[in-house]
Amino acid sequence: MQINHLEVWKWDMVLKEPYTIAYENVSKAENIFLKIETNTGLTGLGCAAPDPLVTGEAPDEVYQTASSSLSDYLMKSDPLRAAHIMNRMQKIFPEKPSLLAMIDMALYDTLGKVAHLPVYKILGGFRDRIKTSVTVGILSTNESVTRAKTFIKQGFHSLKIKGGLDVEEDIERIHCIREAVGKHIEIRFDANQGYNEDQTLKFVKETQKAGLELIEQPTPSGQPDLLGRITTKIPIPVMADESLINLRDAFRLARKGLVDMVNIKLMKVGGIAEAMQINAVAKSAGLETMVGCMDEAAISIAAGLHFALARPNVLYADLDGHLDLVDDPTEGAVILRDGILYPNNMPGLGFELT
């Protein structure tokens, strides 16, 4: 089998509900798509969601690189030799993780179609569904409560509350949301690097009665020892997100015991294959894993879902990045019912672009 044709295109989508996190306001998603075609007629689809502040890539840069260079490296390659291809791509594009993730997805999608199996079953098939959290951005307290109640009415059981700009307001928002949604809804908090040590300790202490499930990346990613110090001081699990970009980061966090959990995003780490390796490091160190996402089209969310379903150590999912996208060309690649994500059980990643 050989790749005999490929297409690359950029697709911009607006968000139905723009949102704010500690370091940016988000109103649109710029995704890049890759479609590979083989001499047997099978196709594979991948998607990149670059973000200068998270993946270190600008969307236009990824698009230009992909459209001008990928045919030189992928044409005539055997897509079933994914490890060989990705090893080469990692050396050529070492600073472009979302570009690598896009290629990795397209190769796994092709593999699944060759095998007539969904990717998660090829990878291990540990489970066939997973609960996802849904995100409440930084809003006023009243708006946060309204948004949270709306999500609960839609069937979600887990909320991820963004904060990190004002610790006092964050504390108030958490308590009001807890009162509004009741004690059985999971609440996770993500400060997106917005706190220092004192603010983190104050926040955790003063929200203890709200029963938070975890706190994600409270402090700056460039200060891993600070993150480790906080992990030893607070009673709830600490999760690394921006502090985890690659396999080396995973090893450092695990070796020093700096966190309790890690958030693996395919766009940050470079795809499913790399995510599997990072998860293995986490498992060996007794760290639990969450699969997260950017603002990504449904086909990319599907890739994260298939990874999550495959491995027993991936206990949490935050795969809501497609829900607010307008005009997603891959809508339907995953199924959401009452806050639970399911694959559609078609071969590959579960979507055929027409």
Predicted confidence at residue 259, as pLDDT, reads: 97
Tokens representing 150 are 């709306």
Please tell me which residue in 216, 242, 274, 318 is annotated as part of the active site: 216
Verify that 9 and 105 share a domain, yes or no: yes
Judge whether 350 lies within some domain.
no
For residue 93, name the pLDDT band (cuts at 50, 70, 90): very high
- Percentage of the chain exceeding pLDDT 90: 95
- The type of residue at 32 is I
Judge whether 103 lies within some domain.
yes
Please tell me which residue in 51, 186, 241, 249 is annotated as part of the active site: 241
Verify that 189 and 142 share a domain, yes or no: yes
Predicted confidence at residue 96, as pLDDT, reads: 97
- Percentage of the chain exceeding pLDDT 70: 100
Q: Is 268 a residue of the active site?
A: no
Q: Can you give the CATH number for the domain in which 13 is found?
A: 3.30.390.10
Predicted confidence at residue 19, as pLDDT, reads: 83
Q: Can you give the CATH number for the domain in which 285 is found?
A: 3.20.20.120
Look up the domain containing 96 and give its range.
Answer: 3-116
Verify that 292 and 305 share a domain, yes or no: yes
Predicted confidence at residue 97, as pLDDT, reads: 98
Verify that 75 and 37 share a domain, yes or no: yes
Task: Work out how many domains the chain is built from and give that number.
Answer: 2
Please tell me which residue in 113, 121, 162, 268 is annotated as part of the active site: 162
Predicted confidence at residue 22, as pLDDT, reads: 78
* pLDDT value at 191 more than 90: yes
**232-247 per-position pLDDT tens digit:** 999 999 999 999 999 9
Predicted confidence at residue 315, as pLDDT, reads: 96
Q: Is 190 a residue of the active site?
A: yes
Average pLDDT over residues 131-147: 97
For residue 221, name the pLDDT band (cuts at 50, 70, 90): very high
Q: Is 233 a residue of the active site?
A: no
Q: Is 225 a residue of the active site?
A: no
**C-beta of residue 275 within 8 angstroms of C-beta of residue 269:** yes
**Spatial strand order in the sheet of 334-337:** 130-131, 340-343, 334-337
Predicted confidence at residue 72, as pLDDT, reads: 95
Please tell me which residue in 30, 51, 109, 190 is annotated as part of the active site: 190
Judge whether 9 lies within some domain.
yes
Judge whether 166 lies within some domain.
yes
* pLDDT value at 158 more than 80: yes
Please tell me which residue in 265, 268, 320, 324 is annotated as part of the active site: 265
Q: Is 183 a residue of the active site?
A: no
Based on the number of CB atoms within 10 Å of its own CB, is 277 exposed (0-12), middle (13-18) or buried (19 or more)?
A: middle
Domain boundary among 95, 116, 137: 116
